[in-house]
Chains A and B, each alone.
Chain A
Amino acid sequence: MAVTKDDFIQSAINEIASYPTIAMRYQIGDPLITQGLASMAAMLADVSNQVEVTAGEPFTKARDVTVRSDAAVKGILPFATPAIAAIKVTNGALVPVQVLAGRVLQDAAGRYWLVTSGVNLAAGAIGYLTAKQVSARRFTHQVTAFIPFYSIPLSQPEVGFIANVLVDTFEYSTNFANILDGERVYNIKSNEVSELSLQFGIAGLSGYQPAVGAQIKITVQDTEGAVTLSTGMKFYFEYTGGASDALLAMELSEVSQAGANPMDITTMREVCSYPGIYDDSAVFGSNFDFVVRKAVSPVTFLSIWNEAKEEAVRGASVDNINTLFVAARKAGTTQPVLQSQITAAIQRADNSYKIKYVPVIDVVVPMVVTLTIPSVYDSGAVEQQVSTILLGQYGEDSAWAKRGEAQILEKDVYALMVDNNVTALSARLGNLTVDSIGDDDDVLPEHYRYITPESLVINIREAD
């Protein structure tokens, strides 16, 4: 229990009687005496607070900065995901028009979009192009020292977040293991305050160590992350190439991937709760979950299982040999886009697997609990409190529901009530019994299980 400012002031007052002159002036509230004491007490209370948080640190990642540094060590980068959209282009000109990949568009809100696959249009024709909501920042860094693991800091953009970093003639790699001496790769590092930097290799051992004076060309792609897009929104060229360009009408047809901001601290805490041993080369089943979750975060639901688990629930089949089964859902992202991202993430980790996508099935878990509470407590308020706690923990948006094969355990329900200080239940006669939790017999790995306000029944009984 942290010591408060008032506690510290009280200790000072207890001592002040030994100094009669000062005590007298304290009594009349002389600010020359009281203000100095109060500000020292405020500082001590702040230190006391920090000590309190730090005391919990060995048992749980209490401070945000610990989560961030853990994420940095595990290579989870604070990148945002850009929105990807299909744009309908109508050629109103009398000549064929070409929009090539790499051209920059702007939308009605002034955001920049990069065309990733272009379109050729005959006079009067209609076509579709794909664009990504990124704007590129290019700069050249001149290497100032010949040192191992040379690093180049990256500044955050004025608007939005970093989506990707590319270095001319270098390849991205997640680490320096299995990298040959002289291979031109770079790492992207983060630190406990989520500042990003590039890192190069060490000569004679692994990777390429840039020489003094070398020019390194860096392209940073910035995105505004989660943006609201409406179908029919107009686009126009950043620079118009000719008279016919002005006669093109471009409008948003479909969002194939909704943009996302970098992981918030809650998601990061969840992602960091996996063991960090195998990093991006997945070996065991749970490693694939980690690799994919990291790549496509934030997901609404993700479950990955293997042949053994599949045959335990649905029986054997030759087709199951060496197959990974994936059930995934992400808000604002279509299945084809999500599946291609997941396939890419799994293939990068281990390309020997076949991947089979299984549709996610929503399962609303019925749950009945009975509260026995002393009559002095307002039963409606207690019911509301318990229902809020349970829905927060096991509801549709909870971290618990986002993983496959989620089970509600009775011991967790009891522990939750203790952790959240439900006073009505801590009274001597107060009790909570879990009468039934759902149909736990036929749990399939693709079941997205959660409780809803309708499926949660709370019975109240008076204890006295």
Chain B
Amino acid sequence: MADDMLNTDLLFRMIAHWVGTQPNKYYGSTYGAPTEDLLQKPLSSPIADAYLAKMREDIPVIAALPPGTINMYTDNDGLDRKTIYIDINGSYVSLADLGDVKRGSY
């Protein structure tokens, strides 16, 4: 039963939930993705690391995974655009497409 419940799909749901939540939206908690912090930064800045660090802090199960299971990388798309991908064990999704990940009935 555990395998039915706790799988990569659930991880993506957690990440989608995290990305869709602004920090301090939950009363009394800083849980959430600091997506607005990414704005107005030089495109060359190493933003993915800080972003991932907060994700590990907020979602304990991700921190518990073996190193290298979760990766995040960016793709330059033209001059003024950057696409961020989250990769778990080979399956990946871009931040912009996370809206398609359904939250499910808990």
Interface residues of A (CB under 8 A from B): 5, 21-22, 24-25, 28-33, 35-36, 38-39, 41-43, 45
When C-beta atoms are compared, the residue in chain B nearest to A22 turns out to be: B106
**A43 surroundings in chain B (CB, below 8 A):** 27-28
**A21 surroundings in chain B (CB, below 8 A):** 5
**A5 surroundings in chain B (CB, below 8 A):** 28
Total A-B residue contacts, Cβ distance less than 8 Å: 52
> Dominant SS at the A interface?
helix
Say yes or no: A32-B26 contact (C-beta < 8 A), given A21-B5, A24-B2, A25-B5. Answer: no
Asked if B47 lies at the interface with its beta carbon under 8 angstroms from chain A, I say no
How many interface residues does chain B have, given as a range?
A: 20 to 34
B68 to chain A, nearest CB (A): 19
**A42 surroundings in chain B (CB, below 8 A):** 27-29
Say yes or no: A29-B59 contact (C-beta < 8 A), given A22-B106, A24-B2, A24-B6. Answer: yes
**B59 surroundings in chain A (CB, below 8 A):** 29-31
When C-beta atoms are compared, the residue in chain A nearest to B2 turns out to be: A24
- Inter-chain contact A31/B14, CB cutoff 8 Å: yes
**A38 surroundings in chain B (CB, below 8 A):** 26, 28-29
List CB contacts (< 8 Å) of B9-23 with chain A. Answer: 10, 13-14, 17-18, 21
New contact pairs (5) apart from A22-B106, A38-B29, A43-B28, CB-CB < 8 Å:
A25-B10, A35-B26, A39-B28, A42-B29, A45-B28
When C-beta atoms are compared, the residue in chain A nearest to B18 turns out to be: A31
When C-beta atoms are compared, the residue in chain A nearest to B58 turns out to be: A31
For the complex, what is the distance from the CA of A35 to the CA of B103, rounded to whole Å?
14
Asked if B90 lies at the interface with its beta carbon under 8 angstroms from chain A, I say no
Say yes or no: A31-B17 contact (C-beta < 8 A), given A24-B2, A25-B5. Answer: yes
For the complex, what is the distance from the CA of A64 to the CA of B10, rounded to whole Å?
48
- Inter-chain contact B26/A30, CB cutoff 8 Å: no
- Inter-chain contact A32/B13, CB cutoff 8 Å: yes
For the complex, what is the distance from the CA of A22 to the CA of B13, rounded to whole Å?
15
- Inter-chain contact B5/A29, CB cutoff 8 Å: no
27 chain-A/chain-B pairs, Cβ below 8 angstroms? A5-B28, A22-B106, A24-B2, A25-B10, A25-B106, A28-B6, A28-B64, A29-B61, A30-B59, A30-B61, A31-B14, A31-B17, A31-B31, A31-B58, A32-B13, A35-B21, A35-B26, A35-B31, A38-B28, A39-B26, A39-B27, A39-B28, A39-B29, A42-B27, A42-B29, A43-B27, A45-B28
